[in-house]
Structure 1
Amino acid sequence: MRDDVMKMFDDLENSVAKDAESFKAETLEKLTKKQSDSEKHVADVTKSLETIDNVHQNRTPSQQFILEQRMKRKVDELSSNVDKECQRLETLAVSFDFDETLRLPPLPISYYVPGQLTFKCSLSEDVKPIAPVDPIVKLTNITSIDLKQTEDDVKVPFYSGLDFLPDGRLVAVDNNNKKCLIYNEKLEKIGSYQLSYAPRSVVAVSEEEVAITSGANYKIDFLRVSKFNEITLNRTCKVKSQYDSICQKDERSFIVGTMHDTRHVRIVSLSGEEKDVSINFPNMKYPSDTSACTYIRNSDKVILTDRYEHTVYIYDIKSNTRVVVKDDQIKEPKGVTLGPSIYILVCSKGTNSIVQISETGRVLFSYKLDIEFPYRVCVSKNKSQSLLSQIAWSVGESCSYYKLHYKFNDILNSL
């Protein structure tokens, strides 16, 4: 009996050692491949940095532009690959289950082996996912203009809404003079359309279409903007609420900020169908010019500014929860938009600055402007992890056009 018991444990030891060695080899192979992939990503980034420096110093503006477009695609691809690798990270749990009942021969060994080695690979609940590094933006002034009253204007222009078309042209709505205007990268006016009402905000819907809110006129106009900068009215959707700020939710609908309504944000389809979002908003109403909103599609979150509470709210639609962002750098927040890496840009009227906030509500940076009272801000359409984007904002009597840069080392260090 002693010999049988000793043999039983010897067999068990050999079986466990064999399984463990096999598992070790398989796991090591996977980790080695992951390490190799990560090193390749870092090598690609390092090579791209060298190429950028070389082209920036020695090449023509045309070659620099071509490289810029290629780098945008490479950064998108790199970001996607890194995200996939992070999602596949796993932790290993090894356990040995011992059966306290000892069974002896002549039963088969599978009956009397008193334990079993088990392996489990999963994303551990105790280990938080790797959070991406929030890149701090760097702004470089490109150009700005003073919006002076012309012969065609009844009043001094006031741009209450801005957005970029996919090709980089800037579309603006002049609330004071009831106009929709198009600008090129040099902020030269290249198109204009006379409206019959004072517009509130504007969003680019597609390559050649924009949508404009009209507040108390209870409608949303869809205008066609041709590649030759001709603007015509496509159609009008009647709505039942007064809408101010507007942004795209997806290809079929918008997120719009209301005025004088306890439903602070609503959803409006391209056909004009309206519905509420599943958020329990405070029982209060925002008068005109006291709030603006935007939307984070990836996480289904709504961003809402409250001018006189000096607050930015981040609402999570899925969980019906919110994050309240208050900071000395945020005073009378006005316009709000998303930056390329899903961070939030807010116009802080009281501090004359553009404030950068993370998706989780952390205030990252405040960029002091050389103009007063920023009102609206927008970012160009190449948002998804782009290295270089464009940003514009308007104030009472001027409009500025900037380039928005990542500190690329922040991206490199986060890999």
Structure 2
Amino acid sequence: MAAAKTETEDGPCCPICLEQLNIPRQLPCAHSFCEKCLQSHITTEAAKHEKLGYVKCPVCRNSAIPPIKDRPSSEWALLFPISRVLQSFLPAKMKVNRLCDASKTEGDDVPAEGFCVFCKEAMCGDCLKLHRRQKISRDHTIISAEELDCNPENFMKFAEGFTCSQHQGEDIKYYCKDHNIPCCSTCFFNGHKNCAKVIDLKNELPSLLCECKPDKIIDDMNKIENHLKTFMDTNEDFINNLEPHINKMIDQIRDVRKKINSLIDELEKNVKTEGIRIYKEIVLKKQEENHQCLSLFHSVRNSHYLFETVQKHGSSLQMFLMVEKMKSQLQSYYNLVEENYEKTDTITVEVQFSSTIQSILSDSLSQLGKVVTTTSSITLPLTCSKRPTKDCSVEREGVIDLKVLTEDTPWYTGLTFLPGDRVMLADNNSSKCILLSSSYQFITSHTLTDKPWNICVLDDQRMAVSLYNQNKIQILYVIGDTIRPVRMITTKYNCNGIAAAGKGEMVVNGYCGNRKSQWSLINMRGDVKCTHQYDSPYTNYFNYIALNNMKTRVYVSVYTKHSLLCFDMDGRKLFTYSHDNLRLPSGIAVDRYDNIYILGYMSDNIHQLSPDGSLIQVVNTGVPKYPSVICILQRKDVLIITNNSDVRKLHIYHLK
């Protein structure tokens, strides 16, 4: 295990090996790793999947598609760009020699001696001489390779505009507010030219930068780093103080030893052995916690280096694009801190002696005493800023027209986001699942054996569709641009709402007869883990279902009772939400802050609730008539709604 490195002078470190970055390769999400570490991660992922089309970032788990798709996964790490900004912070011996771009096109590996700021090309000595001789390029600014690697300011001049991650070599020129995506010209014409809000970055950068608040992002990064460091320091202090506690136990035994017979010798030996075992076990656990925390710390620190460099030396375009990347990074950091590093355990180790002298005189060692370990948690104050619940507004962004998908009138009863921000629709009328790209363009469809009701994603490649007429659940494989059926699960009742519960499990609700509705926890093999039944006067009593982010609460829309029910995983009802302006509630979704969103099918609105079920607001403006299904892409705060009035359209919103 690498030693802890948190001081600034250590420079950027790899979040995987925790050593200084060696040939730092950068993924589209802006996280960087050693070339060998990244390739090892890719190889491990490839071994788990039959056909790997992308790799997930080890830190934020965002999908990264290799720039050249037909290359084998054993070469993917080499395809991702070197982070020259982070490289500029590394010692000279760890610099990566860049090759002449012109020579590379001819298959030669000639080291670059300089870089043309205007042409954005690396050149060898011969190319530089030719470049200076030509009239059209003799006045171009040239930066030597040494100056570029040693000064991030020079690199930012060289890399004036960040290029598109989807179309190699094309500069970012537009920003689509409908999808929160920076675009090159190809992106714009292929997927965003019909969007309502596409901004020309050349003209709108000042106002966009003003909205971005770069200083606030720097402040948040500092807070996350400080919190992670506090977590590691707390564990380190505990490790340092643990040995004196073990020694104190031994001293206690020695004091008692003066008053009792030879059995105490055996007890002392037992306590010593147990104490050493506990010490090793606890230290190993705490060191592993710190190792994982340190990995996240270095990832935040690398992002910090990258962001501050762009802020100090980059152009307005670079600053804006970097802010957009860091927004999603920050939230993933918040989520990881909240999930793993808000609390750390302190463990009390002590000797419990028997209450009477008779137990001491007993010939049974277990009656003399034993080592007892007690675990308690210390809550570390999370200094990272979080968005107040009431500040999260729902703002309409645009409408996507899906007329090209089918000639028949569709009825989209299911909707979910897949890895890579793709979208899957369940069309009840045509009995199909329809796969869309991240820009809502048709990719493919798959015909089901019956009419689907709802749909959910179980893991990176598998999803589940409820077929309520057949009392079945269809498990599907989504690999690349293909949809393939895997398994059919038969249930004892009709399946309405379905939602992923983690670990390949799902919760499913429906009517089970005898005036009862129920929801069940089921795994992908069809094993029912638990079932909870409730009185139900109607067959469509339970409609849609959702879970909170920690998978500890179940939300069910009660169609005919105009309410939302919340249960814990043991089936106990925690609260009921109803409102005079909530009529026939349908789809449910949860945002990254665990706020709940429920659609009023007949009241034409969205009810936004806090995690405890309190009303935040009722959104009436901009909501289509008869809203049916709702889904949230948490990473981008994008919300999509289908409806039964204008059935061929998706309505896009942003949570701001």
Taking structure 2 as the reference length, the TM-score comes to 0.43
CA 1:194–1:122 in 2, change beyond 3 Å: closer, same or farther? closer
Structure 1 pair 189/293, CA: closer, same or farther in 2 (3 Å)?
same
**Alignment partners' CA distance in 1, 2:378 and 2:475:** 47
1:399 is displaced (CA, Å) by: 3.3
Does residue 394 of the first structure (1) align with residue 394 of the second (2)?
A: no
Tell me the alpha carbon deviations over residues 316-343 of structure 1, each in whole angstroms, 9 at most, x when there is no partner: 3358232111123422110112111111
Unaligned runs of 5+ in 1: 1-36, 89-120, 125-130, 407-415
Q: What SS does the aligned partner of 1:272 have?
A: coil
SS in 2 for 1:75: helix
Q: Deviations over 1:261-294 (max 9, x none)?
A: 42421111111112434x5x53215524862111
**Aligned with 1:201 (options 454, 457, 471):** 454
Letter in 1 for 2:530: D
Query: Contact 1:258–1:286 (CA<8 Å) still a contact in 2?
Result: no
The reply to whether residue 168 of structure 1 matches residue 418 of structure 2 is no
What does residue range 238-257 of structure 1 map to in structure 2 within 5 Å?
238-257=490-509
Of the three residues 41, 57, 62, the one matched with 2:223 is 41
Aligned: 1:404 with 2:654: yes
Partner of 2:129: none
Inter-partner Cα distance in structure 1 for 2:377 and 2:459:
41
SS in 1 for 2:421: coil
**Structure 1 counterpart of 2:21:** none
Task: Say which SS state the counterpart of residue 206 (structure 1) adopts.
Answer: coil
Asked if residue 322 in structure 1 is aligned to residue 570 in structure 2, the reply is no
CA deviation digits over 1:10-41, x for unaligned, max 9? xxxxxxxxxxxxxxxxxxxxxxxxxxx99952
Percent of aligned positions that are identical:
16
Query: For 2:392, which of 113, 132, 137 is the aligned residue?
Result: 137
For residue 176 of structure 1, give the secondary structure of its aligned residue in structure 2: coil
Q: Which amino acid in the other structure matches residue 449 of structure 2?
A: S
Larger RCO, structure (CA 8 Å, separation 6 or more): 1
- Please say if 1:180 is aligned against 2:433: yes
300 and 145 in structure 1: CA distance in 2 versus 1, 3 angstrom threshold: same
Aligned counterpart in structure 2 of residue 358 of structure 1, from 597, 610, 626: 610
Are 2:478 and 1:225 equivalent residues in the alignment? yes
CA distance in 2, matches of 1:39, 1:74: 7
Please state which structure has a larger fraction of its residues in helix. 2
Q: Distance in 1 between matches of 2:425 and 2:226?
A: 39
SS for the counterpart of 1:361 is coil
5+ residue gaps in structure 2?
A: 1-218, 228-302, 345-375, 380-385
Report the Cα distance in structure 1 between the residues aligned to 2:226 and 2:510, rounded to whole angstroms: 46
Aligned partners of 2:623 and 2:504: how far apart in 1? Answer: 38
Name the Cα RMSD after superposition: 3.8
One-letter amino acid of the structure 1 residue matched with residue 503 of structure 2? E
Aligned match of 1:307 in 546, 549, 559?
Answer: 559
Greater shift, 306-315 or 131-140, is seen at 131-140
Distance 2:574 2:340 in 1: 28
Q: Secondary structure at the match of 2:536?
A: coil
- Say if 1:291 and 1:379 are closer, same or farther in 2 by CA, change over 3 A: same
- Structure-2 change in CA distance of 1:44 and 1:324 (3 Å): same
Find the residue that maps to 2:555 and give its secondary structure. Answer: strand
Q: 1:213 and 1:299 mapped to 2: Cα distance?
A: 20
Contact 2:499/2:547 (8 A) holds in 1: yes
Which residue is equivalent to 1:266? 520
Structure 1 residue 312, shift from structure 2 partner: 0.8
Matched positions, count: 319
**Once the 2 structures are TM-superposed, how far is the Cα of residue 394 of structure 1 from its aligned partner?**
0.8
CA shift for structure 1 position 195: 1.9
Displacement of 1:123: 8.4
Secondary structure of the structure 2 residue equivalent to 1:350: coil
The match for 2:629 among 344, 368, 376 is 376
Going from structure 1 to structure 2, the CA distance change for 1:264 and 1:81 (only over 3 Å counts) comes to: same
Any idea what SS the aligned residue of 1:167 has?
helix
Distance in 1 separating the partners of 2:588 and 2:321: 29
Q: CA deviation at 1:303?
A: 0.7
* Counterpart check, 1:347 vs 2:602: no
In structure 1, C-alpha distance between the alignment counterparts of 2:521 and 2:571, rounded to whole Å:
18
Q: TM-score, normalised by structure 1?
A: 0.66
